Chain A
Amino acid sequence: MFDGTFDGFLSAVFEAYTRRPMPSEIVEADNQQHFGVCYETVKTDPVKAGRVRRGIRSQMGNEAYDNAWKCFLSEHPERGNFLYRYLRLGFQIQRQLVRSLTDERVMTVNKLAALVSREAGHLLQFIRLGETETGVYYAEITPTYPILPLVMPHFAHRLNMQAFVIYDKTHEQAGLYNGHEWMLTDAATPHRPAYTESEQQYRRLWKTFYDAVAITERINPKLRQNFMPKKYWRNMVEMTESPPPRQPLLSEKKNSPL
């Protein structure tokens, strides 16, 4: 049994390889246990975890490590066992692991990793930051998986000197960036300073643009929803903001042949 952290899981893998015979499963501490199976609690040890991490990278490659980590982020109740089986196969067949696309153990891990990757990718697209009065930008997200560690580097790089906070409401976790480095912290409800005046202006500008850019003759809600799943809408400016008051100019245009 491990404590629910990735390092904890890797420590458990380390311990498993020191036992003979090897344990049959690795589960999370608060998970349901099988009757008649004897469990042992493993203490998280960064040194042991580090050795397993390096072992995975050098024997199976970085891609296998990334997949394993992303699969872990899926928080699937069986993730410990899925990964344990995956890594045991990996320590046997090494670099063939990432090529064994038809192996059940590999497929399970890849599938969960893909779900996590996809969500992280979606958030790179759909996170909307707002400028607060302290100058720090703020965004709220409600993802299914705790993908903050996957999206923080992207925004930290890109926004560079611009400090920001991304708050994951689902997992009560905040990603902080101060303009130099980023970190994660657990936070129940972070204190968000008020938005600036120009923030409201920009939200409305963006909504104006969003509505104007659609071609009426091509309206296709299904296509839009395919690309932009509804679950992200509630945190997106263009899907929540009501359109700015209509200008007389608009009605004029409505009557034109357009």
Chain B
Amino acid sequence: MDVFQKLEILTDAAKYDAACTSSGSDRSPVAGKLGGTCAAGICHSFSADGRCISLLKVLQTNVCMYDCQYCVNRRSNDVPRASFTPRELADLTIGMYRRNYIEGLFVSSGVSGTPDHAMEQMLQTVRILRQEYGFRGYIHAKAIPGCSPEALEALGMLVDRMSVNIELPSEQGLKTFAPAKTKQNILAPMRQIRDGITQSQEELTLYRHAPRFVPAGQATQMIIGATPDTDRQILRLTDGLYRQYGLKRVFFSAYVPIGTNALLPQNVPPPLLREHRLYQCDWLLRQYGFTVDELVDDEHPTLDPFLDPKCAWALRHPEVFPVEINRADKETLLRVPGIGVRSALRILRARRAGRLRPEDLKKIGVVVKRARFFVTCDGRRLPDVPEDPVVVYENLAELSRPELKKAASPIEQLTFFAPPTLPTGEDVMACLTGQL
């Protein structure tokens, strides 16, 4: 089998992994060595599905002894199998890096033999890159659940980011679809990576040149829509992972029907809109100071498909608004729909040079068509802003219409009009007036 075929098979086998970021690590280049990383990461291309290509994302091998029902590489699936030798994969990475195709390597692996054997193969690849080629670009490696602490430690010292996939949002889902994996053997390596990072950071404060363990932090991903978990469960899990495991990112991957198990959804398009809404919440949790209970609660366990989660929150909390642009602090500004991290900072900055008038907001980069319902400038509301909450809801929902169209495939759009998700006029009234 030539390297073209291997590359095709092993890329195809790795493509359902959502994460492809090259961020979080800032390693300036060193004379005589190839490459560096920059904190913001760089996307080098965008594939036909519009997802970013930053790293050479492949499996070391797609031979796997497990039979996880949601996974394309499950033992029982009839797909061609291939493996890269460590040398092949390292050479491929270097060749592509030199041509500015990629930012580095994202290597994962099927479990052929023992988890430690899979880890050993990845470790060899990474060793060739780091030690032989002196490669200073980005490397993201997957830790295989069930591997030994020693193997994890060795790999962690050489890569920028590690991740262990949590796979499905609930233990029940794991039991049903991935009986070989348990919550325990997924969480154990996560804990070890967390502790390794903490320890490494402590050492760094003492010795500037202490070796760095997983400097770009830990990530994970879970599959959305394969199991009946609610948005609330998913977000609580996500929040728990950020808080208790110190994760840098949690990725969501809309389930693409590749399994044949009768319990898995069949012939449905991937729930892209739901994935999109969950990512919006993820950003609100990480960058905007929101808590999970503000976004979803017992009354609203699923996210509103018609409204982005920040608008939805704002409509449920009229007591917070309007926000005074010329006085509010950063935390409060960040809560206004239409004001993002960047425009909040710009508001703070521009305020130091003079007071802001309503017509200045647009110049500063505030999305006025959203923000206008929620702000005042020196006590003045923006012109022509409706007060009636139902009208506001309709206005805001109208704004996310293109988003619905873009993210939702036709079938998914249809399901919006099925009874459980469609808020009727009365629902809207109840949800709005009930709290007004």
Contact = CB atoms under 8 A, between A and B. Distances in A.
15 contacts: A96-B353, A158-B36, A160-B32, A162-B34, A202-B99, A204-B4, A205-B95, A206-B101, A213-B57, A214-B47, A215-B15, A227-B52, A228-B45, A250-B8, A257-B77
A91 interface: no
B44 interface: yes
Residue in B3, B49, B269 with the greatest tally of chain A CB atoms within 10 Å: B49
What 5 pairs between A and B have smallest CB-CB spacing? A223-B50, A99-B353, A212-B11, A218-B49, A214-B47
B290 to A, nearest CB: 26
A213 to B, nearest CB: 5
Contacts of B79: 253, 256, 258
B45 A249 contact: no
B31 interface: yes
Given A253-B79, A258-B79, A219 B353 contact: no
Contacts of A99: 349-350, 352-353
Given A202-B99, A205-B3, 20 more contacts: A100-B353, A101-B346, A102-B354, A102-B360, A131-B98, A137-B99, A158-B34, A160-B33, A160-B34, A162-B34, A205-B95, A212-B7, A215-B49, A215-B256, A218-B49, A221-B48, A224-B49, A226-B50, A227-B52, A256-B79
A146 to B, nearest CB: 20
A236 B49 contact: no
Contacts of B96: 202, 205-206
Interface stretch (A31-39, A121-129, A169-177): A121-129
Q: Looking at chain A, what size class is its interface with the partner chain?
A: 35 or more
A247 B3 CA distance: 12
Interface in A234-258: 236-238, 244, 247, 249-250, 252-253, 256-258
A54 interface: no
A159 interface: yes
B257 to A, nearest CB: 8
Contacts of B92: 205
Interface of B: 3-5, 7-9, 11-12, 14-16, 28-36, 42-53, 56-58, 72, 77-80, 92, 95-96, 98-101, 254, 256, 258, 260, 269-270, 272, 346, 349-350, 352-354, 356, 360, 363-364, 406
A222 interface: yes
A89 to B, nearest CB: 11
Interface of A: 93, 96, 98-102, 107, 124-131, 137, 139, 155, 157-162, 198, 202, 204-206, 208-224, 226-228, 236-238, 244, 247, 249-250, 252-253, 256-258
A136 to B, nearest CB: 12
A258 B349 CA distance: 52
